[in-house]
Amino acid sequence: MFVRLLSVLFLLPLPVLASEVADRERLASELLQLTGTAAVFDVADVRRALADPVLHLGRPREQLVAAAGLKIWTAPRIWLLQADGERWRGVGTDPDVLAVVHERGLVLTMLPQLPSAEALLSGLQPGSDSPALPGLLAAHQADALVLLRGTSWALWQPGMTAQGREASAAQALAAAAEALGVRQQWPEAAGRALVQVDGVADIATVLAVQTALQSLPGARQVQLVRSRGHSVWFALSAPMGEALRRALDADPRLPVLRPASGLPASFVDARHRGSSLLARRWNAETTSPVQSLP
């Protein structure tokens, strides 16, 4: 009897641990689908919820999103095409790409490509808007166009273009979707690089962070677009990409913000993509509280 009881005590933590992991992954998945961006995992309220997901099982997810200072996003209808030689085709049944569609709750337009679209698609230039884009999207009942060529991706939405290169077509779609989510969550930073900095507790530190960002190559203008708790978001005139990431990496005052623990690997990967938002932490050793933020 004693041996049986002892064995139960030793085995009990295993299913409990597995259940907690499943609860954390379920919560993370729901929050990603509700907000459209992996940046939700960097907000303090969400990090606390992910650390102890059991306490938040009965809490409406919409309430947690609002507490994090974000909003429920409306997933744009995406016209998603992959390169097939010199032509473009639908995504077909690529299981990894379709997994990203499901994981992020994306909406794909399934209308067949119009014969006239091929010429318009071939004339699109990554990073440049096109006057023909609104009509092209409307004809295919889409809000955004994402083109995948190998592991490169390019995104067009009226008033917005973005591009990048990832390790796979699935990650390329996730990066494009992340850019769409960030644009909808931070419309005031549209068309500009967005940097989130945590650990900002006072006005003096806000100014110090702004000065540090202004020293980055190409960042002639740095605008504070939002603040919440000890987090601030700055829009930079510098282009988003590897050059900006490397410049931030070289500044010891702005180390990378470590991801919340227990996140699925694909969510952590999405969080670190520099196509839309870079998350950093202010080095507290360089600050001294003066005036608390309101």
The 3-class SS string of 225-271 reads EEEECCEEEEEECCCCCHHHHHHHHCCCCCCECCCCCCCCHHHHHHH
Residues 194 and 180 occupy one common structural domain:
no
Single-letter code of the amino acid located at 291 = Q
If we measure between CA atoms, which residue out of 10, 9, 14, 35 comes closest to residue 181? 35
Give the domain range for residue 123. 77-184
Question: Domains in the chain: how many in total?
Answer: 3
Residues 45 and 123 occupy one common structural domain:
no
Query: Could you say which DSSP state residue 113 is in?
Result: P
Residue 252 lies in a domain: yes
Residue 267 lies in a domain: yes
Residue 142 lies in a domain: yes
Q: 272 CB contacts (<8 Å, ≥6 apart)? A: 256, 259
Q: 234 CB contacts (<8 Å, ≥6 apart)? A: 194, 195, 197, 209, 210, 213, 222, 223, 224, 225
Residues 165 and 207 occupy one common structural domain:
no
Flag whether the pTM goes above 0.85: no
The domain boundary residue, chosen from 124, 155, 184:
184
Residues 176 and 92 occupy one common structural domain:
yes
Return d(Cα 205, Cα 134) in angstroms, integer: 43
Specify the CATH number for the domain of residue 86: 3.40.50
Note down pLDDT in tens along the chain; length 294 residues: 544 444 444 444 545 456 777 888 888 889 999 999 988 888 888 888 888 887 777 778 898 899 888 999 999 999 998 888 878 888 767 888 888 888 888 998 888 887 878 878 877 777 777 788 888 899 999 999 999 888 888 899 888 888 888 888 888 888 889 989 999 999 988 878 899 999 998 999 999 999 999 998 888 889 999 998 889 999 998 777 778 888 988 999 999 888 777 777 767 666 655 567 888 999 867 544 343 344
Residues 116 and 197 occupy one common structural domain:
no
Residues 120 and 137 occupy one common structural domain:
yes
Residues 179 and 192 occupy one common structural domain:
no
Residue 60 lies in a domain: yes
Residue 291 lies in a domain: no
Q: Give the pLDDT confidence score for residue 292 in this predicted structure.
A: 38
